[in-house]
Structure 1
Amino acid sequence: MMDEKTKKMTKKELRSFGLITGAIMLVLFGAAPWLISGKLHKWPFIIAAVLWVPALIFPMLLEPVYHGWMKFGHVMGWINTRIILSIMFYLIIAPIGLIMKILGKDPMQRKLDSSIESYRIVSDKKDKSHVERIF
Structure 2
Amino acid sequence: MLIEEIKNIKSDKKELRKFGITVGSVILIISLLLFYWEKSFWLWMFIAADLLIFAGLLLPGILLPLQKAWMTLAVLLGFVMTRVILSILYYIIITPIGFITKIIGKDFLSVKIDKKAKTYWNYRTKKDYQKIDTERQF
Q: TM-score, normalised by structure 2?
A: 0.75
Q: Find out whether 1:21 has 2:15 as its counterpart.
A: no
Structure 1 window deviating more from structure 2 (86-95 vs 97-106): it is 86-95
| Alpha-carbon contact 1:25-1:48 (below 8 Å) kept | yes
Note the 1:93-132 alignment, pairs <5 A.
93-123=94-124, 129-130=132-133, 132=135
Matches within 5 A, 1:71-86: 71-86=72-87
User: Unaligned stretches of 5+ in structure 1?
Assistant: none
1:101 & 1:74 partners in 2: Cα distance? 39
Aligned to 2:38: 38
Match for residue 90 of structure 1?
A: 91
Query: Share of identical aligned residues, percent?
Result: 38
For these two proteins, the number of residue pairs brought into alignment is 133
Per the normalisation by structure 1, the TM-score is 0.76
Task: Show the counterpart of 1:47.
Answer: 48
CA contact (8 A) 1:55 1:62 kept: yes
| Cα deviations by residue, 1:44-94 (Å, 9 ceiling, x for unpaired) | 123213312322222111122112111111111112112211221222111
- AA aligned to 1:44 is M
Over 3 Å counting, the alpha-carbon distance change for 1:108 and 1:9 in structure 2 is: same
Call closer, same or farther: CA 1:134–1:31 in 2, change over 3 Å.
Answer: farther
Alpha-carbon distance between aligned partners in 2 of 1:104 and 1:6, rounded to the nearest angstrom? 50
